[in-house]
Structure 1
Amino acid sequence: MTENLGVLGKKSSRKSARRTGVERVVNAPLPTVYGKFQAIGYLDHDRGDEQVALVHGDIGTERVLVRLHSECLTGDAFGSQHCECGDQLAAALRAVVAEGSGIVVYLRGHEGRGIGLLAKLRAMALQAEGLDTVEANLALGLPVDARDYGVAAGILHDLGVGSVRLMSNNPRKREALVRHGIQVAEQVPLLIPPCENNITYLRTKRERMDHHLPHLDAVAHLS
């Protein structure tokens, strides 16, 4: 945008209004090992984060298969077994391709349930000493879950989505979408087989954060 200059070459004292909400910036084809997607990039003007929605097929407007995936560098990129995040992301991408259409909204700024990467690593260190994931965050003076899903709802609104089939085990995601005007027609479980390294973490999510993880009952033998 051209700056409005006065006769002496100074910038105008009139200030432009600050933008808010989410803005679609770019749409690019993204072939992946799971299938072909459109990567639609957004700017969150409220938080300054850059976000992306991976869209597969003709999504329509109602009962769209959707995953809201919180950024997890250790799980998504490094294959950490401390959590199930990387496996959930892969499963969600496979699911929308198998469905023929759907959306995976990848939410940056959600690292460590919103506390950031370094704080998450500090919490993981405390968990190695015996605290659970809830206790570790609280011991650091941080919220148990600081994530906000307003930007996700804004992205879905921009894509013309009115109702979703939400791939999630977390009831708070459903509640957040409904609060922001997106109807949840169905909550689709996204259950990943646990391993020895993440069973305690998953049990804590079920027992202390109300995640729906009924498959854990079948693996009582894991420590």
Structure 2
Amino acid sequence: MSPHPPTATIRTQVVVPLRLADGSVATARVVTFDGLVDGREHLALGLGDRALDAPPVPDAPTLVRLHSECLTGDVLGSLRCDCGPQLREGVERLAAAGGYLLYLRQEGRGIGLYAKLDAYALQDAGLDTYDANLSLGFGHDERDYTAAAQMLHALGVTRVALLSNNPDKANQLRRHGFTVAQQVPTGVYLSSANARYLRAKAARGGHTFDLPAHLLPPAVGLDEAGAGAEAPAALDTRRAVTGAAPAGQGGAR
């Protein structure tokens, strides 16, 4: 991985008013790019002060969220993952604090939409999300953040406070020469439908969040589609359930 990826340039910028699934609103400056190494149509959303094209403050880290596309979670509201709530939280926190959300076209950890749905079928047969990808001939995470590094450079960002629980994102940015001054944790959105998925992310992906045992749905007979035992009555399947508050209430992921 080169520490100095090829230079990308800003192609267009347009202000877009947003209304999220929960009814909250924000304004984003949506930025497109030329020269991205993978040829994909990634977007940067400037939120808060960045929606007004405010330049980064010298030497101060810029709050950044790298969000990989998830049609099923972001658009359709699937409960098999936590992507939809993560997107909503990212927009809300960045709108409040100012920063960039990079929406990266890397569906299914980079394996694509159809392959992700194939992996779901394998998960229904008992594999976890990582072994399902491996069984299809992919790595457990195929995502590469070189294009994200190019986008941030084009936006004038070199020091970041990274809104993520995923250490691989921070490590890849550092290898591209960025200073990750802080990794800001996000909320944990646990439900009966995604408990195994979140457990696998923590145990095998190194994601830095804790899943309290007393809040986990019963493991017996439970798969990522939510089959098996119901979640405990105290478990809110739509909002964060750990110490970090949900989106809009001071939580961070």
Same fold (TM over 0.5): yes
Read off the aligned partner of 1:143 and give its amino acid letter: G
Deviations 1:131-182 (A, max 9, x none): 1011111111111111000111111111111211101010000000111111
Read off the aligned partner of 1:85 and give its amino acid letter: C
User: In 2, Cα distance between the equivalents of 1:145 and 1:193?
Assistant: 21
User: In 1, Cα distance between the equivalents of 2:141 and 2:102?
Assistant: 19
SS for the counterpart of 2:32 is: strand
- Is 1:48 aligned to 2:39, yes or no? yes
Overall identity of the aligned pairs, in %: 43
The correspondence for 2:13, drawn from 10, 27, 30, is 27
User: In 1, Cα distance between the equivalents of 2:114 and 2:7?
Assistant: 27
Q: Report how many residues are paired.
A: 202
Tell me whether 53-62 or 142-151 shows the greater mean CA deviation. Answer: 53-62
The correspondence for 2:67, drawn from 69, 77, 84, is 69
CA RMSD in angstroms, aligned pairs only: 1.5
Give the superposition deviation at 1:47. Answer: 1.8
User: In 2, Cα distance between the equivalents of 1:216 and 1:158?
Assistant: 41
Question: Higher relative CO (CA 8 A, sep ≥ 6), structure 1 or 2?
Answer: 2
Give yes or no for contact 2:15–2:30 (8 Å, CA) kept in 1.
yes
Summarize the Cα distance change of 1:44–1:131 in structure 2 as closer, same or farther, 3 Å threshold. farther
Please, which runs of 5 or more residues in structure 1 have no aligned partner? Answer: 1-19
Read off the aligned partner of 1:36 and give its amino acid letter: T
Read off the aligned partner of 1:35 and give its amino acid letter: A
Give the superposition deviation at 1:25. Answer: 1.0
Please, which runs of 5 or more residues in structure 2 have no aligned partner? Answer: 1-5, 20-24, 220-253
User: In 1, Cα distance between the equivalents of 2:145 and 2:35?
Assistant: 12
Aligned twin of 1:102: 99
Give yes or no for contact 2:191–2:217 (8 Å, CA) kept in 1.
no
Q: 1:106-121 counterparts in 2 under 5 A?
A: 106-108=103-105, 110-121=106-117
Tell me whether 197-206 or 30-39 shows the greater mean CA deviation. Answer: 30-39
User: In 2, Cα distance between the equivalents of 1:131 and 1:198?
Assistant: 14
User: In 1, Cα distance between the equivalents of 2:119 and 2:35?
Assistant: 27
User: In 2, Cα distance between the equivalents of 1:107 and 1:67?
Assistant: 10
Give the superposition deviation at 1:221. Answer: 3.9
User: In 1, Cα distance between the equivalents of 2:180 and 2:212?
Assistant: 25
User: In 2, Cα distance between the equivalents of 1:104 and 1:46?
Assistant: 19
Aligned twin of 1:79: 77
Summarize the Cα distance change of 1:35–1:150 in structure 2 as closer, same or farther, 3 Å threshold. same
User: In 2, Cα distance between the equivalents of 1:63 and 1:45?
Assistant: 23
User: In 1, Cα distance between the equivalents of 2:164 and 2:100?
Assistant: 13
Larger radius of gyration: 1
User: In 2, Cα distance between the equivalents of 1:174 and 1:48?
Assistant: 23
Give the superposition deviation at 1:217. Answer: 4.2
- Is 1:212 aligned to 2:212, yes or no? no
Give yes or no for contact 1:87–1:192 (8 Å, CA) kept in 2.
no
